[in-house]
A and B are shown apart, each in its own frame.
Chain A
Amino acid sequence: MEKLLNRFLKKPWLVLVVFLIMTVGFFKVMKSNSRMETDLDKYMPQHHPAFVFSNQAEEWFNIKDGIIIAIENQEGIFNSGTIQKVKDLTKALQKMKEINKDDVTSLYTADNIIGSEDGMDVRAFFKNTPKTDEEMELLRTNVRNNEMIFGRLVSNEETVTVIIAEIEDDVFSQEFYKQILELGESFNGPETIHVAGRPIVEGTMALLGPADMKRMVPIVLIVIILVLLTVLRSFKSTFFTLLVVMFSTVWTFGLMAAVGIPIYAVSTMIPVMLIAIGVADGIHLYSHLHLYMNKNPHAAKKDAMLDMIKGMWKPVVMTSVTTAVGFISLLTSQVYPIKYFGIFTAFGVMMAMVFSLVLIPAGVMVFGLPKWKKQKSDNGGNKASFATAFSAKIVKYKYATIILTAVIVFISIAGIGKVWINSSFLEKFEADSDIVLTDQFINENFGGTSTLNVIFDSQDNGAFKNPAVLTAIDKMQYDVEGTLQVVGNSFALSDYLKRMNKVMHADDEAYNVIPESQELIAQYLLLYEMSGDPENLWKVVDYDYKKANLTFQLKSDNSKAINSAIEVIERHVPELNKLNVDLKYAGSGYKGLVFTDLILQGQIASLVMSLIIVIILLSLMFKNFMAGLIGSVPIIITSIISFGVMGLLNIPLSTTTALLSSIAIGIGIDYAVHFLERYKIYAAETGDKILTSRHTMQHSGRAIVFNAIVVIAGFLVLLFSVFPPNRALGALVSLNMFTSFLGTVTIMYLLLFVSNIYFKKR
């Protein structure tokens, strides 16, 4: 390795030019092939049984996510202007090529099943906008009297009505998103038009994600430049360190584009990661060079480079490998975007290592040694005495240190129990953002913007014409809606039958129940097929009446809401099983829930795996298993504190914060590596434990503090993100870096001191 690096030194120009050309190549690939993934279904493992089933059920019952357009008129919607808008907007949506004509539901397209003395009518609520007051009043009465519509398409206060346009997963594009928003905008005034629904949430995220990244990268760069200038005190060094991280970022995204992997929301964090992590190598190399030049002010640049490579290649490789391992451990996740995030960040880290070891020396060879600005005052003496005092104090108050650590760990463990996973996509947005407010508005007026589908399945032909089965389902609907605030509405075959039973008995409320005989149910359904739109039936039941679909409308898409609904539903399962009916769940909300479970499992797996690998790597690097164990203590404590803080501060695990432990381990372990490396060297040099401690604390301290400052500064920039989970991640990683750093110089140092490693054999 060292020989190879030295060989590069002989042809620095060639090295620089070759790397520059390759980077330009990667940049071109990145420019032309990069693609942002906006379909959230693509984020989920498609082979997982829950997803396979859900996708199948979505096809059976034509379950799709809907764009919800709400038309609000404070004066009430029953006036010719607003009603005409409902019609015009419905027609405009139906004409869009991305939307199936039959998939638009509004007051204009809905079937009104009405009863009369001598029969039943299935009619449109209106064809032409009512002109007279009488006609308008009739429309209002019809809406009020139809529980399949009132509260579902028209709010109870009659000030809002919604149009729902269901779309396929694959038709969504930025262009379509813009068109929908523009369409809504064009109908504004005097009515207010609100646009919501999962496709819109996804679309907004797809739009904000890259915008957020574009905003974040320059800020990170500025912060890092400032930190680098402070730490390295040289423009030349700062420039080459930056070059390293920019090259590694370009190569990473170039590779991603070259192998055809799209940019997922989580991948937008990679540049921030690489910039914050990648500069560490540069800092170590330049500090070493600085120390060498202080000792040998007249050394030739070639000798300085040879010494730098000799002294530093090992720790640079070691810390980079351990960081990469932390990210590679994300491969255990079943969630592809997280897997890719792990692989590509690890690749970027390794590239940053290569560039640091090759480009920085080449840069010095070509452009000369950096000129360091003079430090204002040499406080090296102060630092040394502080380090000496610090190491002595830690040993002196060792019980206090241990007890304090134990208390913090204990409190954190208590907090871990409170950590919850959040699958909500909506909660990735600011609480006062337009999209969240619109969602709240619709949830206040209607059943809910999120859905949970319950799919019933029976082996018996015609099972869902059996009154006992339908009554059991109806009971479940009543129970779930009644028990849970968060469930606003439900819709199933039972609703059609109750409505028809009622209207066929002259609107008598006593007949708003499931009919008593299978014959009557079958005959009502036949009747509905004759007079209504049978397509609607196939959204709630299948052709053979062996499968049925019940849709719950929820006012929140977070995991707590969905889980609470499932809990109540599960209470009804034994009764349904007795009737030979099974149930499973489907829909995007449920898939999100399964998804978060997978994230949690992946979390635990990747955490355990990265810990094991890091311990093995440390043991191998320091040729001592005990050193490996002791070295992992700070990151174990860091992980516990990190999850504890999440629990105590009510920060949920999400696709973003799930990356935390791997990042924490991967980066946090670097401090332990540097400390152990120095400790080992000084132990061999001095053979004296107290002296070794002092030297290690003094020399390693500087590098570790610099390293921690850079990473913390870089990640704190994430606090400027528009996505709350990204901000949480930034704050938590910064916290983790701080605790790893503190853990390394306190408890790990203490354990190292007490264990007598590297002194036993003497």
Chain B
Amino acid sequence: MKKTIILFIIISCLANAFAFAQSKAEIELMKKVPLNPELMPHVFSKVGGTPNTAEKEHYPDYTFTKQNKNPFQFAFSGLYIGYKNFVSPQDVISCAFKPSCSEYGMQAVKQLGIFIGIINTFDRLQRCNGLSKEKYWFDPDSHLLYDPL
């Protein structure tokens, strides 16, 4: 057990080191490249203050996570925000559906309650395989399958 924990810590440290090195290299590279407002509109809108469409898509709206009615919803909102900010951005868009499984789970817990909400989320996670495309509507904007709660 001790060996597994030590191995896990080493791998985590290495992964973090690689990620940090990569981001540092990217920052250095960015310093050398002159910024073009047309190519990076989301960066420049921050200076202006008002987010544009590209920026809104890049940073999803989390306002619904603030409308909590009980401690369970509060806890789930925290988990959701944590996942969306730290875990989800580390990989590519892998969810087959819109809204994504995390967002769906969040909505399910809020609308259907903790028990049915969690069961619904587990069901959704099993369906998130992209094999049964014929069952769902296709969302042309996001190129994902549309499966609302």
Q: Do A and B come together as binding partners?
A: no
- Measured CB to CB, the residues of A under 8 A from B are none
- Measured CB to CB, the residues of B under 8 A from A are none
